[in-house]
Amino acid sequence: MTDAAGCAVRAELRDRNGHAQKISVNVESMLTSLIRGMRELSPEVSRLLSELVEREKTCGACAEGDEDDADEEDEEDPPVKRSRT
């Protein structure tokens, strides 16, 4: 049997400022343990992402400015249609 002490499922979330939040779930070296680890990790990652979204919403102008710029770029450069001859 292999030593499972070093096995883990890890996730890292970095925000715009470069701050990192790391999550780690220890697992054994079996598929069922890996699946269990992913199931444990998923809600934690979702929670962190939700917190990040809420922080970005409170930023207000920062988030709106980025979205507006993306919309303007789409409007300025419409796709070119090519006709077949």
Each domain of the chain, given as residue ranges in start order, spans: 8-75
Task: Note down pLDDT in tens along the chain; length 85 residues.
Answer: 345 456 888 888 887 788 888 888 898 888 888 899 999 989 988 988 888 888 878 876 554 555 555 555 555 666 666 666 6
Could you tell me where the DSSP H helices lie in 1-85?
31-59, 61-76
CA–CA gap between residue 37 and residue 40 (Å, rounded): 5
Predicted model pTM: 0.51
Q: Amino acid letter at 46? A: S
Q: Where are the beta strands (DSSP E) in 1-85?
A: 8-14, 20-26
